[in-house]
Structure 1
Amino acid sequence: MSEQVNKVTPEVLFYENGASWGWLLLGPFAGVGMAILQKTGGYGHDLWIPLVFLLLVSGFVAIQIKAARIHTSVELTAHTLRQGAETLQVDEIVAIYPEASGSEVPKWQSARALGELTGVPRGRTGIGLQLTGKRSAQAWARKHRRLREALEPLVAERTP
């Protein structure tokens, strides 16, 4: 008799997907646009050109969406913070720096951004983190205040 192993998936406290598959509609729009240009330009009805534009645009946009969903997604559970392809244990976070305000740039904004990207992705805002070993890093998200609100209680319950 085989035992059934129950996989417990941790509760997700915050999630951003990185990119929407809705952008894939650009392919059909490009194909329709080319068909309209052909018709109004007096070139007749040749379906190959709109079809090629539909496939090319859809293909390139799909690759970009897939990359964004891998590299700019954010997931926070009670134990881990995943930023892109990098996962950080919440236990490693000692403190969360206050939000940047005023004209003076906080020191934490020069810290490395989590994830495998060279900096905070465009459209996202950094959150300063003090890590174990006197290290600093930047978490980031589009809805950075919601991520901060979800992260603060986790850090507070783990630090004295």
Structure 2
Amino acid sequence: MTSADPQDEPQVLFYEPGASWWWLLVGPLSALAMASIQLTGGAGVQFGVPAVFLVLVSGFLAIQIKAARIHTSVELTPHTLRQGTETIDTADIVRIFPEAKGAEAEKWQSYRALGELTGVPRGRTGIGLKLSGDRSAQAWARRHRTLRAALHSVVEEPAL
């Protein structure tokens, strides 16, 4: 069996994972908090309650984190832009609209958000894109200025 050639993998220009697995530490911390509440109450520790908190909180957070890593992750390579579960070719990007300034909303801010979401995810900022075939959309990222700069390095915009 041969290993994959590292040159075959596309160069990643921008990446955001969507959510961090570090949030899973809240489960054990909640169990410790419940155990300390029991200890300070004077009744001793009954391990059932902290165990339930550990399992429920960790399980719920694991589901949320996994969903966020699927639906709100971003990856830009020289040939593709993946936003959540949707991938577009960078060759389809005709223009990147300027960043929104001031209180008045830009027209591109009402465009469809890329990915299978109903809008730009919370905590992210949209980037207006003009696509081929008279289509338009919004890319988005937490570090939107870094993604915008990376998009500019990949997309060849026509002179206006």
**Which range, TM-score by smaller chain?**
over 0.9
Aligned counterpart, 1:77: 77
* Structure 1 partner of 2:44: 44
Q: TM-score, normalised by structure 1?
A: 0.93
Instruction: State the Cα distance separating 1:125 from its structure 2 match.
Output: 0.2
1:4 Cα deviation from its structure 2 partner:
7.9
Partner of 2:96: 96
Amino acid at match of 1:19: A
Instruction: Return closer, same or farther for 1:17/1:154 CA change in 2, 3 Å cut-off.
Output: same
Cα shift readout 1:29-61 (whole Å, capped 9, x = no counterpart):
100011011111222221111111111100100
State percent identity of aligned pairs.
65
Aligned pair 1:109/2:103, yes or no?
A: no
Give the aligned length: 158
Structure 2 letter corresponding to 1:130: K
Q: Unmatched 5+ residue regions in structure 1?
A: none
In 1, the alpha carbon distance for the partners of 2:98 and 2:4 equals: 43
User: Could you tell me which residue of structure 2 aligns to residue 152 of structure 1?
Assistant: 152
Pick closer, same or farther for the CA change 1:12–1:51 going to 2, 3 Å: same
Residue 87 of structure 1 is matched in structure 2 by 87
* Aligned residue identity for 1:127: I
CA deviation string 1:87-122 (max 9, x = no partner): 010011000000000222111000000000100000
Alpha-carbon deviations, 1:49-75, whole Å to 9, x = none? 111111110010011000000000000
Q: CA RMSD in A?
A: 1.8
Range 15-24 or range 45-54, more displaced:
45-54
| Corresponding residue number in structure 2 for 1:63 | 63
CA distance in 2, matches of 1:114, 1:5: 30
2:11 corresponds in structure 1 to 11
Would you identify which runs of 4 or more consecutive aligned residues in structure 1 move more than 3 Å? 2-7
**Whole-angstrom distance in 2 between the partners of 1:3 and 1:22:** 34
Instruction: Give the AA of the match of 2:125.
Output: T
